[in-house]
Amino acid sequence: MAGGAWRARVGAYAHAVTEGAVSGEVSPVEVLIHRLDDGLPLPAYAHPGDAGADLYAVSDVELLPGERAVVGTGVAIALPDGYAAFVHPRSGLAARHGVTLVNAPGTVDAGYRGEIKVTLINTDTKNAVRIRRGDRIAQLVIQRVERASFYEVDRLPGSARGTDGFGSTGR
Ligand X SMILES: O=c1ccn([C@H]2C[C@H](O)[C@@H](COP(=O)(O)OP(=O)(O)OP(=O)(O)O)O2)c(=O)[nH]1
The binding site consists of: 90-92, 103, 107-109
The nearest distance, CB 36 to ligand X, in angstroms, is 12
d(CA 82, CA 109): 10
Is residue 16 within a helix (H) or strand (E), and if so which, with residue range? helix 3-18
Residue 117 binds ligand X, judged by CB under 6 A: yes
Closer CB to ligand X, residue 45 or residue 112? 112
Binding region for ligand X (CB under 6 A) out of 9-17, 21-29, 40-48, 103-111: 103-111
Residue 45 binds ligand X, judged by CB under 6 A: no
Residue 107 binds ligand X, judged by CB under 6 A: yes
Q: CA-based Rg of the chain, rounded to a whole angstrom?
A: 21
Lateral strand order in the sheet of 68-72: 68-72, 117-122, 99-101
d(CA 74, CA 34): 9
**Residues of this chain that bind ligand X (CB under 6 A):** 87, 103, 106-109, 112, 116-117, 119
